Structure 1
Amino acid sequence: MKSSQEIAYYFILSLLAASVVILGLVLLFFCRRKPVESEESLPAARISAQAYPSTDIDAATDGFNHRRVIGSGRLSTVYAAVLPSDQKLVAVKRIHPSLVLSNACFGFSSILKTLSLAQHPNLVPILGFSQAPGERIIVMECVGGMSLDYYLHENPDGASSVLDWSLRIRIAAGAARGLEYLHEGMTPNIVHGCFKASNVLFDDMFRARVSDYGLSSFVANKKRGLVGHVDDEFWSDGRGEACKESDVYGFGVVLLELLTGRRAEEGLLVRWALPLIREMRLSELLDLRIVKPSDTRAIARLAKVASACVNNSRKSRPTMFQVATILNNLEIEVCA
């Protein structure tokens, strides 16, 4: 029979052996090599905007030929252009010389590189830029279609030829997704700064594509083209400071344009439409150029979203995430 000392000895040996095994398992767990990911499993890297030589831009626009002009606004003149490097059709935005000379375009290249990282089906992507003395150029994808402003207010065939009620809901939802992505999907977040119907373009599938986002700092003190599209708080500091809440207000104005077929009219549209929405007098509110649907529940919900965007103060205004969620569900119900 073993003595108590021998039993204690074998017990200690057993504990030591068990400790060695456990230590080995721990080392194996923490020191094992991480499997190498295949290229297919790695996320695609975002590529920032390309810097184009001024000679390429000059050749692409035929020396900024006036026949290539496809638009003009408070920031720039836009040209349809073909890049000589790959014969790709693009939109070239030539920032007005007065803004360049006033030093409004300070930090131009770094701003454009950041904005170009925004990639979403409901955005018009920024492809590149060009700089020269007195010149600042933005190169964007040319989506091919006209703007929402054109179809609502300038189309000679009338809005009824294209924009029925289901399509208007689809346009609203698509634009909301694009703006929501800028506000929530980008780091740092991007404030559009000048959201209005002329900045909602259409591709060949008639999908809403938001353009001109993040460029408001270049024209911060210019009221032309902004009055009626931003809230009163926008001008409270005298400088015109853009924020997410002012974007939501601008989105609400666009919803009112979709509902009524009327222009923003420097704030008159909001003051005219809100009492009608409050009392649900849809027959007086809705665009008379198209037939009112037999079931107006979806249109009434769209009107309530518009009212929440423009009627509330900034503190109680919905976010674009909330707005996009409602409109996405509405699109599924109406357009599926």
Structure 2
Amino acid sequence: MSTATPPARSAATPRSTALAAAALTGALLLTGCGATASSGRGGDAGATAADLHAQLPERIRSSGVLRIGSDLTYAPIGFKGEGDKPDGLDVDLANALGAVLGVQVQFSDVPFDRLRLGLQADEYDLVMSGMTDNPQRRDGTDDEARKVNDGLDFVDYFVTGTSIVVAKGNPQRVAGLNDLCGRTAAVQRETVQATLLERQAEACQKGGRKLTVTETETDDQALALVAQGRAAVDLNDAPVAAHAVQHGRAGGQFQVVGEQLQVAPYGIAFEKEDTVLRDTVAKALDRLIRNGQYDEVLAKWGLTGGAVQSAVVNGSF
């Protein structure tokens, strides 16, 4: 469970100009690829709520529950708020999707590095946890294109990038990735940021200066290492970095340095064979985008800069 103090439900996290600009660029790219809910795999985006419920897999219609795996330690995307209840952008969007689909939403709090395994073990129906849609996760491959798992499908719903977070005052004078050579970086394991740091470590090694990467189970643990001076930086998603700067987390105060990196969409993750659920959720998300509920949820969290224009299946590249 997160050690961070969650924000008040009425407080939205302001987005930075960099986040808005980067997200806009990503959103424009995203609309040009993949399959939307209104064309191709998605089918009829104009379906009524009753139609959408009828299109759900029988196991979900009969139970009346959509089970969602999420790492609830990642404010403001997903975290535990008042009364230890799930809260955040993903939680609000999931509840809105459940209402459109005519089912209850049930969250399982799962460490991020176990989410894919739990999904493929049928512990939940989908994953909604600020998970970046990228070719490696879709294909189940590593950086050398070796097959390591069965891969996932995604319905993309938000665009963001990676920020470099340092202790307030930037005591180790980090301005970008190249400044990490000879230093220690902390990062949550199994994230796109962990992969980015692995690549940077290889570049540093070639230059003769070692980058030490410390992987943690949660982002709060990585931030704590930065606050304690045991790591120079933590890399995390831009909305999460902005939240850490504004509210403080993991016992420290922070700031963001450098430019936002590797802009890409968050995707709701599904097992490859679960195409019926994937496409029905895509249609439901398109419905929320069209009726304005999607924009209302993003505005609540100060994250409208990351809005997408339509639900896209496997839209990243």
In the superposition, the TM-score normalised over structure 2's length comes to 0.24
The structure richer in helix per residue is 1
Which one has the largest radius of gyration? 1
In the superposition, the TM-score normalised over structure 1's length comes to 0.23
